[in-house]
A and B are shown apart, each in its own frame.
Chain A
Amino acid sequence: MAIRLTIPISDDSIRSLKVGQSVLLSGIMLTGRDAAHKWIVDTFIKKTRPPQGDDLEVFQAIQPLLNGGIIYHCGPVVAGLDTGHYRFVAAGPTTSIREEPYQGDVMRLFNLKGVIGKGGMGEQTLRACQEVPAVYFHAIGGAASLIAQTVQRVLGVYKLEFGVPEAMWVIEVKDFPAVVTMDAQGNSLHEKVRQESNAILENLLA
């Protein structure tokens, strides 16, 4: 049975989640992928570039949404670009490992309770999951139209100049399906599968 979680999610709820559990997420989340993560890290963590344009305003607007919240690694297909009445048409997860250099710091900065993506993440993110605490939710890659059906409303968008896929979309979801594959106790299904498959590979290449 899937566990229902409402965003913002409490630390206790997060700590109780275990690798392998199915969840249904409801509430408000933000999409964010390569450009967004690099922008956050460069501007507000490493501070290698000064804030420009609406950077500070956007930061203040997303901060309360991300406190106890979730970033979804997703570059959606969005209808209504000409009218501003946005609707998600297709919105599956993108590969998360590209955010590995940034994710842990971004989790700590905002007190994120989770990220949703596909393919899993590495050691640095797993460590941050234990500290913050947070978990990694795995959505089904490619199941884009099905997942888009769980997006009830598009509440807004930040940094649309990054392009439609890279912008930060604020969405309200209901019963968004995912599986916990990295938990706050330091367990990673991805690490387990990697190690087990490596032993088999060595046999096949012996």
Chain B
Amino acid sequence: MTLLRLNNITRRFPLGSPLYGPRKYLVAVDGVSLDVEMGRTTGIVGESGCGKSTTGRIALGLEPPDSGGVLFQGLPLPRIDSKKWRAQRRQMQLVFQDTLAALDRRMTVSALIAEPLAIHGIGDPASRKQRVAELLHGVGLGEGHGMLYPHQLSGGQRQRVVLARALAPKPSLLVCDEPVSALDLSVQAQIVNLLMDLQQELGLGLLFISHDLRVVRHVSDRIVVMYLGRVVEQGRADAIIDQPAHPYTQALVSAMPRLPGGFDHYVALPGEPPSPTDRPCGCPFHPRCPLARDVCRQSLPELLPLGPERQVACHLVRH
């Protein structure tokens, strides 16, 4: 069953002052559609400025789309700050990269985890205390950690607290924006394992946003590859990584060093992702694409199906 559906959403931010000349826009997200299934993980991968975080914020209703719609459990998201919105927010939670910024450093871990329960009016103080203990245990922390403050914990422990806090109101959707990027490798593996265990146990739908293709492949059932605000390819995780169809996905996969082997199949890609304020016309990828032709410079390729479960936006792929 589809838990979350983004339907052709677009988000642009005005640049500079409206007083001088025609207004310019930064198009952060341009016509993105994706689904998150119940109990499954959809991964969004892309380089900086590709719009992956904005997409996550729109999915949670933290950012209104300029056009297109977000459906959660088949219904459109209520208006922000309305009563209905708050009730809906119980169901959808967010995990960030920067845990020190996400946790109020003047609150103890127990208070931090209990806060969402109080906000959503779940249970009475005694049952909340019980639930906090359960959550601490669930994310692999001891009850002793409840008394500590965020700065007394390591990065991995703080990410566990953020997870416990997100899970407190029993959400059905978790949006994770670079949840393990700031962690050491050994700790990253702990959190990835924990996330996957919790998902299985609680039947969570995950929208997992990361620049790290390895981690995204590991956790995701489906992968959405974004470039300059647009989806260039999406499909089953294994298919995307093993047989990438879009030239950008091919380059991205080849730029991930293999163990062992390194860059044995490296597809050199010139330049760097351009700024989203200055998008090339035609296919946004054409200035860096090794295969670009005239048609790529002139018209924007549509996201079209390639086989049963995959979509690719490229003029040169035979659909």
Q: Do A and B come from one complex?
A: no
